[in-house]
Amino acid sequence: MGEVSLVWLRNDLRLADNPALFAAHQGGGEVLALYVHEAGSAVRAPGAAARWWLHHSLNALGKDLAEIGIKLLIRQGEAASVVCEVAREHGASQVFWNRRYAPAEREIDASVKTTLKEGGVDAHSFPGNVLVEPWEIATGQGKPYSVYTPFWKNLRNMHIPVPLGRPAAQGLLAYAEPDSGYQAPKWSVKLKPYWSIGEQAAALALTRFLDENLSDYPQGRDFPRREATSRLSPHLRFGEISVRQLWHTAQALAHADHRKQELVDKFLSELAWRDFNYHQLYHRTDIATAPMQPKYAAMPWRVAARDLAAWQQGRTGIPLVDAGMREMWETGFMQNRVRMLTASLLTKNLLVDWRQGEQWFWDCLIDADIANNPANWQWVAGSGMDASPYFRIFNPVTQGERFDAEGDYVRRWVPELDELPDPWIHQPWAAPGDVLAKAGVQLGSTYPLPIVDLKQSRQRALDAVRSL
Ligand code: FAD
C-alpha cells in the first residue's frame, strides 16, 4: 500500500492556491480530503446563513475534488478526535492543513498536532488564508499594529507569495460524498437566486468585478444601489478563492495598464482591512466578546429587547436602516456603508451592546467572518482598535440624502414607502400630512414611527462615552 496523505480543509474550500492540498499532492501518494463540522468545542459554529452557504460550498468542492481523483470525507464531532480517527482509519502517515488564527482554533490545531505526532503521524501546516501571517508584520518596535494606516503602508510593500496552481488530476472519481447531515431550512429558498456558490463562481465573480466594476469602485462602493463592489466576501469567508489570488490578479491589471493603479490600490487597501482584522484576531483576546479598548467594559449599555427586535426586523421607522436590515434578511448580504449605519444606530442611538448586533449579523450574513464581523462591530461601536472616533455617529437621514439621493435603495427594500417623494423618503416623519396621505403612508400603521429621536439619542451616546 502506498503513502496516504490527509488534507484537513476548513476555511479553504478550493483547489487552486491551496498550500496544504498542493503539498499533500506533491508527496506523490494517495490524497484524501476531510471536512469536519466541529461540535463540542470552543470553535465558533457558523451562523444559520453561513451554514447554508457552507453546505453548498462543500457539495461543490466534493465534485471538484472528485474530478481530480480526490475523495472528500465529511464528518461531524470534535476535531481533535475526528481528524486522528480518520487518519488512523485510512492509514494516513501525514496530515496537512492551512492555518487559522482565532485563539480557540489555534488551541485545537495544536492539540490535533500533538495527538497525531503521538500516533506517529506527521502534521504540516501552511499559510493559506491571509496575505501575511499575523506574526510576520509588526511595527518598528516589533509590536502588533493597532492602527490600520501604518499597517497598510507596511503590508503594501511586503512580498505577497504568488498563488499556487491547482493540483494535477490523480484520477477521476464517479461519486462525491454529499454534505448529508444538513437539512436546508425553508427560509433558505429566498437566498438561492442571489448567489452562485463554489470555486468556479468565485473566479467568475472576480473577473466580472475587475472587468465591469473596478472603474467605479472608489466612488461607487459607498452607494448601496450601485452595486459597485466585488461581492467576494462570502467566497473569501469560505476560502473558495484566496486573498492572494485577488491581490495578484488585481496587481497584474495595474501592471498591464498603469492608469488603473489607483483603482487597484483602493481595492487592495480594502483587502488589507481583512488582514488587519485577522491581525487583531490573532493578537488580542477574544475579539467577539471582549472590547479591544478595556474602558468600554464599563459602557452603560441599555437592555432594550423591543428596540433590538425592531432593529432586527427592519421596523425602526428609519428607512435606510430598515432597508439594510431587510436586505440582509432577504439576501444574506448588506452593503458596507449600510452595515456601518445600521450598526451605528444600534450601538450609538439605541445604546445597545455591540455584541448583540454582532451576534445577529453572525446569524444572518452569508459572509459572517470570525475576524471581520466582530472587528467591524467594535470599529463602529468605538471600542475597537483604530475605531471610528466616539463622536462620529452616523446620521441615517443625511447619509441617505448623500448615498441614496433618489431613494432607490430604500424603495427596493421598504416598498411601503415607494410613493413617497424624494425629499421625504429618508425622513417620512417630517413629511406633511397631505404628502403622506397621497403616498398611502400612515405612520404607526403602514410604516412605523421612528423608535428613537436621532438628535436626543446622539447626545445620550456622547454622554455615555464621556462618562467612561
Ligand atoms: P469589496 O468592497 O469588494 O471588498 C473586497 C473584500 O475586501 C471584501 O470581500 C472583504 O474581504 C474585504 N473588505 C472590504 N471592506 C472591509 C472591511 N471594512 N473590513 C474588513 N474587510 C473588508 N466583512 C466580512 O467579510 N464579514 C463580515 O462578517 C463582516 N461584517 C461586518 C459588520 C459590520 C458592522 C461592518 C460595518 C462591516 C462588516 N464587514 C464584514 C466588512 C464589509 O462590509 C464587507 O467585507 C463588504 O461589504 C463585503 O462586500 P464586498 O465583498 O463586495 O466588498
- What residues contact 190, with CB distance under 8 A and at least 6 apart? 330, 331
Instruction: Answer whether residue 395 shows pLDDT above 90.
Output: yes
| Ligand 1 binding site (Cβ under 6 Å of any ligand atom) | 221, 229-233, 236-237, 270-271, 273-274, 277, 336, 339-340, 343, 361, 365, 367-369, 372-373, 376-377, 380
Instruction: Answer whether residue 116 shows pLDDT above 90.
Output: yes
What is the CA(270)–ligand 1 centre distance, in A? 8
Mutation pick for ligand 1 pocket among 209, 270, 331 (CB with most ligand atoms within 8 Å): 270
**39-87 pLDDT, tens digit each:** 988 899 999 999 999 999 999 999 999 999 999 999 999 998 999 999 9
377 assigned to active site: yes
Please report the pLDDT score of residue 199 as a whole number: 98
Q: Is 378 exposed, middle or buried (0-12, 13-18, 19+ CB in 10 A)?
A: buried
* For range 102-108, the mean pLDDT: 96
Q: How far apart are CA 222 and CA 230, in angstroms?
A: 13
Residue 186 has which C-alpha cell?
A: 425553508
For residue 91, count other CB atoms closer than 10 A to its CB.
14
Which residue's CA is the nearest one to ligand 1's atom 17?
A: 273
What is the CA(233)–ligand 1 centre distance, in A? 6
Q: What angle do CA 118, 1, 31 make, to 5 degrees?
A: 70
- In this structure, of 18-22, 170-174, 369-373, the range with the lowest mean pLDDT score is 170-174
What is the CA(417)–ligand 1 centre distance, in A? 28
CA-243 nearest atom, ligand 1: 11
Mutation pick for ligand 1 pocket among 148, 151, 233 (CB with most ligand atoms within 8 Å): 233
Helix (H) or strand (E) holding 73: strand 71-77
What is the CA(331)–ligand 1 centre distance, in A? 15
Helix (H) or strand (E) holding 282: helix 261-283
Q: What angle do CA 386, 148, 466 make, to 5 degrees?
A: 10
CA-276 nearest atom, ligand 1: 20
Question: What's the sign of the alpha-carbon dihedral 186, 188, 194, 195?
Answer: negative
Instruction: Answer whether residue 1 shows pLDDT above 70.
Output: no
360 assigned to active site: no
Which residue's CA is the nearest one to ligand 1's atom 23?
A: 372
Please report the pLDDT score of residue 389 as a whole number: 79
157 assigned to active site: no
195 assigned to active site: no
Instruction: Answer whether residue 2 shows pLDDT above 80.
Output: no
Cα(first)–Cα(last) distance of the chain, in Å? 66
What is the CA(369)–ligand 1 centre distance, in A? 9
Residue 202 has which C-alpha cell?
A: 468565485
Which residue's CA is the nearest one to ligand 1's atom 46?
A: 336
Please report the pLDDT score of residue 41 as a whole number: 87
- β strands within 291-433, DSSP E: none
What is the CA(372)–ligand 1 centre distance, in A? 7
- Would you place residue 168 in the very low, low, confident or very high pLDDT band (cuts 50, 70, 90)? very high
Catalytic residue among 8, 152, 360, 377: 377
**What are the angstrom distances between the C-alpha of 333 and each of 129, 327, 371?**
21, 7, 17
**124-152 pLDDT, tens digit each:** 999 999 999 999 999 999 999 999 999 99
DSSP at 225? T
Instruction: Answer whether residue 106 shows pLDDT above 60.
Output: yes
What is the CA(339)–ligand 1 centre distance, in A? 9
CA-342 nearest atom, ligand 1: 34
Q: How far apart are CA 365 and CA 50, in angstroms?
A: 6
What is the CA(324)–ligand 1 centre distance, in A? 15
152 assigned to active site: no
Query: Coil, strand, or helix at residue 414?
Result: coil
* For range 161-165, the mean pLDDT: 97
Write down the H helix ranges in 27-157. 48-67, 79-89, 103-118, 148-156
- What residues contact 86, with CB distance under 8 A and at least 6 apart? 6, 32, 34, 73, 75, 92
Residue 12 has which C-alpha cell?
A: 479553504
**188-246 pLDDT, tens digit each:** 999 999 999 999 999 999 999 999 999 999 999 999 999 899 999 999 999 999 999 99
SS3 content of the chain, % helix, strand, coil (to 5): 50, 10, 40
* For range 289-314, the mean pLDDT: 96
Q: How far apart are CA 144 and CA 278, in angstroms?
A: 11
* For range 259-278, the mean pLDDT: 97
For residue 167, count other CB atoms closer than 10 A to its CB.
21
Q: Hey, which residues does 6 pair with through a beta bridge?
A: 32, 95
Which residue's CA is the nearest one to ligand 1's atom 52?
A: 231
Catalytic residue among 270, 330, 401, 419: 270
270 assigned to active site: yes
* For range 455-468, the mean pLDDT: 94
Q: How far apart are CA 428 and CA 450, in angstroms?
A: 9
Instruction: Answer whether residue 428 shows pLDDT above 90.
Output: yes
**335-391 pLDDT, tens digit each:** 999 999 999 999 999 999 999 999 999 999 999 999 999 999 999 999 998 877 778
Which residue's CA is the nearest one to ligand 1's atom 47?
A: 336
Residue 126 has which C-alpha cell?
A: 501552511
- What residues contact 315, with CB distance under 8 A and at least 6 apart? 322, 448, 451
Instruction: Answer whether residue 259 shows pLDDT above 60.
Output: yes
Pairing of strands 4-9, 30-38: parallel
